[in-house]
Amino acid sequence: MSNMAVFASLGDAVLQAKRRLPHMVFDFIEGAAGLETAADENKSAFADIKLQPRILQDVATRSLNKSLLGESYALPFGVSPMGMCDLIHPGADRLIAEVGHTRNIPVCLSTAGSSSIEDFSQWSKNNASKTAWFQLYVQTPEIAMDMVKRAEKSGYHTLVLTLDVPQVSRRVRDIRNGFEIPFRIGPRQFIDFAMHPTWSINRLLNGIPRPINFELSGDGKPFDRNAQRTGADLEFLRQLRERWKGNLIIKGVMSADDALLLQSEGVDGIWISNHGGRQLDAAPPAISALPKIRAALGPDYPIIFDSGIRSGEDVVKAIALGADFVMLGRAILFALGAKGARGLDCLFDIFSNDIDTVLAQIGCANVENLDGNVLAALKQAV
């Protein structure tokens, strides 16, 4: 079966994942803060951005290669950090690390991932200096610095500090479903699992994933998802900048003032994101922040973007609006939930083909040359 036959679109993958995964697991992926307005608007804002069709341009040979932070990657998109990916599919973190290596793209392990910093580096074929990145949450500076030490020892070169989760938001779906980390199985969850036998058998065979990095660093206590993550203040940032010699990227930036401060503090790049709408429901669509922040930072400062990316067209739009690189969040988990490794592969093929075709349609042969000239009309969202 060709990859394209696994599913024809991300929309189809979402439907397959919904059938295959227990409700509580699907809702953990798809859910967001509050009324889920920010999550919805992240996507609808992209629909309001239009690309300008062009003809008679030289687009016979097209390139999707994209450089970022001095590295050359084969595609302009990678994988955002996401906690507990292995819940969706056993070995998901490993598949993500491997796809980073085989496709030559950056992929980011979360602090709350179900795999260790050390394993993720090894699975990337010890390519952590390029394709495997590590994302840090700071509950206490001591635990965080221990993780930084482990990341350094494991060969990582790019550290992503996420700052938009000072406190995990109320996510109604998780509360309704009794979703907790570490996992708790009561009668309700039992029924949900029994109705999704493929997933449940896989889980029985592979065990319940845990956010292992918190056990390996610090006092060895299990991860408390609801504990504050406010340990990362400006002083911590300065200490981290001093301590970490590789690339330091700050994720969760939505304000031009914050971006300017980070630039002046010697951070190597920022990651514009509203956490896929999972934190502040009243946040503006992430894509609306991009042109303003790009204008404030100037043309050369590295900007990564995520939140609401659901197609290759969205990747092209974000780059045209000023992003150097784009990351996929939920799209990756839906693909894994739908068909595991084959789903992940299929998603990459769909996005790559989509970007390639879009470049031909808009008369731009190289993603490196995408800029505001390829945009047709911007509605008020941006």
Ligand X SMILES: Cc1cc2nc3c(=O)[nH]c(=O)nc-3n(C[C@H](O)[C@H](O)[C@H](O)COP(=O)(O)O)c2cc1C
Which residues have a catalytic role annotated? Answer: 275
Contact with ligand X (CB under 6 A): which of 131, 177, 217, 273?
Answer: 273
Distance CA 122, CA 145 (A): 21
The smaller minimum CB distance to ligand X, of residues 278 and 294, is found at 278
| Measured CA angle at 69 (ends 357, 256), to 5 deg | 90
Contact between 139 and ligand X per CB under 6 A: no
- Residue of closest CB approach to ligand X: 329
Helices (H), the chain: 10-20, 23-30, 37-47, 92-103, 117-123, 141-153, 172-177, 187-194, 197-206, 212-216, 234-243, 256-264, 286-297, 312-320, 330-361
- Least distance between ligand X and beta carbon 135 (Å): 5
- Least distance between ligand X and beta carbon 87 (Å): 9
Three-state DSSP class for 109?
strand
Number of H helices and E strands in the chain, helices first, is 15, 12
- Least distance between ligand X and beta carbon 187 (Å): 25
Contact between 27 and ligand X per CB under 6 A: no
The smaller minimum CB distance to ligand X, of residues 31 and 322, is found at 31
Which distant-in-sequence residues (6+ apart) come within 8 Å of 21 by Cβ?
29, 88, 196, 199, 337
DSSP codes of every residue in 345-375: HHHHHHHHHHHHHHHHHTT-SBGGG--GGGE
- Least distance between ligand X and beta carbon 109 (Å): 9
**Residues 154 to 173: which contact ligand X by CB under 6 A?**
162
Contact between 80 and ligand X per CB under 6 A: yes
Three-state DSSP class for 79?
strand
Put residue 33 in one of left, alpha, beta given phi > 0 → left and psi -120 to 50 → alpha.
beta
The smaller minimum CB distance to ligand X, of residues 135 and 247, is found at 135
Distance CA 37, CA 105 (A): 31
Contact between 177 and ligand X per CB under 6 A: no
Contact with ligand X (CB under 6 A): which of 16, 116, 135, 247?
Answer: 135
Please choose, out of 193-201, 214-222, 274-282, 359-367, the segment that lies near ligand X by the rule CB under 6 A: 274-282
Distance CA 316, CA 35 (A): 29
Binding mask 304-343 for ligand X (x = CB under 6 A): --xxxx------------------xxx--x----------
Contact between 116 and ligand X per CB under 6 A: no
> By the criterion CB under 6 A, which residues form the site for ligand X?
28-29, 42, 80-83, 110, 112, 135, 162, 251, 273, 275-276, 278, 306-309, 328-330, 333
